[in-house]
Amino acid sequence: MKIAMIGTGYVGLVSGVCFSDFGHHVVCVDQDQTKIDKLQAGQVPIFEPGLDVLMAKNVEAGRLSFTRDLASALEGADAIFIAVGTPTRRGDGHADLTYVFAAAEEIAKTAKDYAVIVTKSTVPVGTNRKVHEVVKAANPDLDFDVASNPEFLREGAAIEDFMKPDRVVVGVETERAAKVMEDIYRPLYLRDFPILTTDLESAEMIKYAANAFLATKITFINEIAALCEKTGADIKKVSKGVGLDGRIGNKFLHAGPGYGGSCFPKDTKALARIGQDVASPMAITETVIRVNEEVKHRLVEKLRDVCGNSFKDKTVAVLGVTFKPNTDDMRDAPSLTLVPAMVGGGAKVRLVDPQGYREGQDLLPGCDWLDDPYEAAKGADLVVILTEWNEFRALDLSRLAGVMSAPKMADFRNVYDPSDAKAAGFEAYVSVGRSDYGV
């Protein structure tokens, strides 16, 4: 099969590379010449473990290439994937579909032969039918079908998710389109991974419903964590006890500073807007959005308390600023709320993150960036664990406390046991949903 992938952002690049590893010939298209130049030079513009090696392998095999020339990419293509950004639109919370419709129009004006136009971007219900209208209006004579193929990739584990998916969802209207999509995903069919074929609207809704449900689990356990702090229960034990129920499961039941990233924030907002537009309010989702913001501000107050009710003239070492480990993604990361609150309150903040500097240096001004957590903690009044990178899971707590001016820890991922922190010399320790001391 020959595939054209429009957009070389996170979803487009990962999908294009993985499709080429299936054995398909993939041409990735992007209007950004600088990005194309880097990709052609073998440079990966995002951090995703293993992506650089897989990309190089398939470029060398002649199955993967990058270009700005849409016409050459579409020539002979069996499927044309739209994988452009759908950010939250300012002012109303809707997904901004400007780039999706622009790509559809360009495809219509450029394509000459039959192809399935596949929306890989996350889009509201009804978008694929609008894509059909846009293409038809721009080129009434073009022979084409549309399909919806939402992605379910976790940043930091995207290649594994693509190659060994829980399921692949394909929304189509015709048998012809279904056959093309079946051929594209044949390597997964042959290995018995679930392929769910639906109508367009159901495929679109599955993506939003799945992300909203996962965001709800995160927010629910954070509310329970706040209750645990008031009642003396331990959220780690509660989460384990709840997660052992097979109907619930243990994933996404880890208390912390709230969800962030490229999907949950914008998708929950978009789902809430869809519900409002059709007079079917998503009351649970709307509450999840509100509570997730409240969680971050609640943790700001915990930081203020452990600093003696003021950040002024305090030195704070923050370990981890990306929204999760194994990614460089800073979108809606909790650090974007917590760090500015400390800086604005007069604290001197030092940041350590294995991948966060590239985006974080502009998003978190007024901070110092260091590579070593012990160096960052030297002379500090507080160390904050905000992202649970492996580098921060096995720190020498005695060494860490020993270099600090006032050894206090805010462990917002519950990485360590409070008794271990106390034994290591930390005079105060706060976490999420557990008993604190020294505050």
Feature table: binding site for NAD(+) = 30, 35, 86, 122, 155, 266, 331
How far is residue 195's CA from residue 380's CA, in Å, rounded to a whole number?
52
With helix as H, strand as E and coil as C, how does the chain read? CEEEEECCCHHHHHHHHHHHHCCCEEEEECCCHHHHHHHHCCCCCCCCCCHHHHHHHHHHCCCEEEECCHHHHHCCCCEEEECCCCCECCCCCCECCHHHHHHHHHHHHHCCCCEEEEECCCCCCCHHHHHHHHHHHHCCCCCEEEEECCCCCCCCCHHHHHHCCCCEEEEECCHHHHHHHHHHCHHHHCCCCCEEEECHHHHHHHHHHHHHHHHHHHHHHHHHHHHHHHHCCCHHHHHHHHHCCCCCCCCCCCCCCCCCCCCHHHHHHHHHHHHHHCCCCCHHHHHHHHHHHHHHHHHHHHHHHHCCCCCCCCEEEEECCCCCCCCCCCCCCCHHHHHHHHHHCCCEEEEECCCCHHHHHHHCCCCEECCCHHHHHCCCCEEEECCCCHHHCCCCHHHHHHHCCCCEEEECCCCCCHHHHHHCCCCEEECCCCCCECC
How far is residue 211's CA from residue 224's CA, in Å, rounded to a whole number?
20
How far is residue 225's CA from residue 31's CA, in Å, rounded to a whole number?
46
Which positions make up the binding site for substrate? 152-155, 207, 252-256, 260, 324
Q: Beta partners for 172?
A: 147
Strand pairing report for 144-148 and 168-172: antiparallel
Q: Beta partners for 28?
A: 5, 66
Active site residue ranges: 263
How far is residue 430's CA from residue 414's CA, in Å, rounded to a whole number?
9
- The neighbour count for residue 140, using CB atoms within 10 Å, is 8
Two tokens, residue 257: 């500073």
